[in-house]
A = this chain, B = another copy of it.
């Protein structure tokens, strides 16, 4: 047994793995409510997975053997129609959960949008833990409920908002999600391309681009290097977003 692990071994059952102790989004993940001993139980079954930008993570319809928690980076969730049309059903950021389903198949395909680090939990062992750690199941239910509420907002956006309202809502959504992770809400970083945004909002890349240009022209936002967007007039954007 190598010296580097001595401390860990000395505290079996009470200390969590170093990587988790250092995890910057633990308080927002599925792990949030767990104490050190429970964390240890959970980490007995998990594995870290690192992927580069563009790598596939899950494929719609394939066996849902794992649940993932995004640790670093961003992920795009999507579904395809038979003729190739694509709908992006969501973007995931650190702390978000991926692959939760009650069926035995993934509901969506997903790909790394940037380089990502994921915590991967095999599903059966994870579900077995529910019996010993009810907090874990409680947490998953809360996260699923939140996702459901977000999905309903997205349905309103897709079904009843104009292109301008959609793009404004999108920028504000990303801003709020940054704030939820205790990051500044401005500038907003856009790790995804215009095509991803378009497929998420039910628009075309051209319309997204034109709308962003319009916001830029009217002084609501300004574009910064590396896909960052500064919100110059948040109140006006909020106004835009609601109609």
- A-B contacts, 6 of them at CB < 8 A, read A79-B156, A81-B161, A89-B155, A100-B148, A151-B154, A154-B155
Cβ 8 A contact of A85, one of B101, B158, B243: B243
Residues of B within 8 A of A149 (CB): 101, 103, 107
With an 8 A cutoff between CB atoms, is A201 at the interface? yes
Most chain B CB neighbours (cut-off 10 Å) among A82, A86, A89, A141 = A141
- When all copies of this chain in the complex are counted, the total is 2
Distance, CA A202 to CA B86, complexed state (A): 18
- Of B108, B143, B148, B159, the contact of A158 (CB 8 Å cutoff): B159
- Choose among B81, B148, B160 the residue that contacts A151 (Cβ–Cβ < 8 A): B148
Interface size of A as a range: 35 or more
Task: Provide the residues of chain B in CB contact with A82, threshold 8 Å.
Answer: 242-243
> Which B-chain residue is minimally distant from A158 (CB atoms)?
B158
Give min CB distance, A66 to chain B, whole Å.
15
Interface centre among A79, A87, A152 (most CB of B within 10 A): A152
Nearest CB of B to A111, in Å: 16
Chain B residues positioned under 8 Å from A142 (CB to CB) = 102
Cβ–Cβ contact B146 & A102, under 8 A = yes
Interface residue? A35 (CB, 8 A): no
Segment at the interface with B among A38-46, A129-137, A207-215 = A129-137
Whether A141 and B146, one on each chain, are in contact in the complex, defined by CB atoms closer than 8 angstroms, is no
C-alpha gap A242/B81 in the complex (Å): 7
Question: Which residue of chain B lies nearest to A145 when distances are taken between CB atoms in the complex?
Answer: B102
Q: Judge whether A18 is part of the interface by a CB distance below 8 angstroms.
A: no
Asked if A138 lies at the interface with its beta carbon under 8 angstroms from chain B, I say yes
Q: A87-B156, A154-B155 given; name 9 further pairs at CB < 8 Å.
A: A81-B160, A81-B242, A101-B149, A103-B149, A107-B148, A134-B137, A155-B155, A158-B158, A158-B159
A77 to B148, CA, bound (A): 13
Given A134-B134, A145-B101: A159 touches B202 (CB 8 Å cut-off): yes
Is the pair A158, B161 in contact by a Cβ cutoff of 8 Å? no
A233 at the interface (CB under 8 A from B): no
Q: Tell me, yes or no, whether A199 is within 8 Å of chain B by CB.
A: yes
CB distance from A160 to the nearest CB of B (A): 5
Interface centre among A82, A101, A156, A161 (most CB of B within 10 A): A156
